Amino acid sequence: MGQQKVAIIGSGNWGSAIATLLGPNVRKNDAFDPEIRMWVFEEEIDGKKLTEIINEKHENVKYLPGVKLPDNVKAVPELKDAVKGATWLVFVLPGQFVVKTCDQLAGSLEPNAKAVSLVKGLDVENGHLHLMSRLIAEKLKIDCCAMMGANIANEVAREAFCESTIGYENKENAETWKSLLQTSQFRISIVPDIAGVELCGALKNIVGVAAGLVDGLTDCQNTKAAVMRIGLVSIMKFAESFYQRVEDRTFFQSCGMADLVATCYGGRNRKVAEAFVKTGKSFDELEKEMLNGQKVQGVPAAKSVYDVLKRKDRLKDFPFFVTVYRICFEGLDPKEIINPQAIEVELK
């Protein structure tokens, strides 16, 4: 058997940070080809192609400026060229592009390919919920783990100590992913609970929006802590309502409580939601002004969850999620996020 090969599908802020972990680990593992191809959606920066800049400067000047990428990471503008010969695929792109990307890849992967999804989002079609890892696994007919955690990309790239969680169905594949991604400062736990890991990663962005709304309204930390607690309870209740095999311990992994805290104090969803309250501008306007091409994931996640709850006739059971949705999409006064009667929910 020849060497295994890693490809990164996505090259934004988080994808570029992940490249800083994978590059050195792959280089020192004799079982793997040292070159990693990273698919880059081509765009021009000051008249020059982004892929050329990355390959010449070893820096993603748009999405992760100031951080050197390993020189064994090669930016590739064509998706199928990026994954050619790859047996280990890292999906790290905005959730709205996953279906289209999988459709383009179908039938062109190595027969023994495996994947890990770092995509924090949900796919909802006609009120039916699909986890991104399950979407990838089903469309491409491959095993797919999920990795989520308190992983603000710039801090990971700076080698600050942090943790992450891999959810798996195949433990052997999860162990390999751990060996490829873990470093002395980036510590990984693995758990047999893909749904729990992934739901934490997607739903915490809704709580991040709520936290930002609170920050725009008040500087009271008691209030923010209360909203965060209600958000966590809502995540747990949603996960356990729709995925009976979710494990309670997952919520106390990095993908759960730790990611929630990081998102509510340092994430882009919080920052933009605070500006939404203070400026009166729309989320679309603020996303364009503030995020340099990145996305506010909590707003579409709130809509996805609302659509599922409406189809299942469960809106009354999840007032926190419904309130965030109505603030984002129906013009509800943001002050309702600090109205206990509007958001309180208990885990039964």
Query: Which three-class secondary structure state does DSSP give residue 144?
Result: strand
Residue 255 to residue 52: CA distance in whole angstroms: 35
- β-pair partners for 115: 89, 144
- β-pair partners for 6: 88
Residue 201 to residue 119: CA distance in whole angstroms: 8
Token pair 């064509």 is found at 78
Instruction: Say which of 178, 204, 224, 237 is annotated catalytic.
Output: 204
Query: Which three-class secondary structure state does DSSP give residue 35?
Result: coil
Residue 297 to residue 300: CA distance in whole angstroms: 6
Q: How many CB atoms lie within 10 A of CB 279?
A: 12
What ranges make up the beta strands (E) of the chain?
6-9, 36-39, 44-45, 48-49, 73-76, 88-91, 114-117, 122-125, 128-131, 143-148, 162-167, 186-191
Alpha-carbon distances of 97 from 104, 123, 275, 294, rounded to whole Å: 11, 10, 26, 13
Is 204 catalytic? The answer is yes
Residue 226 to residue 211: CA distance in whole angstroms: 10
Dihedral sign, Cα of residue 206, residue 208, residue 211, residue 215: negative
Q: How many CB atoms lie within 10 A of CB 336?
A: 16
Q: Is 208:216 a contact under the CB 8 Å cutoff?
A: no
Q: Is 238:251 a contact under the CB 8 Å cutoff?
A: no
Catalytic residue numbers, as ranges = 204
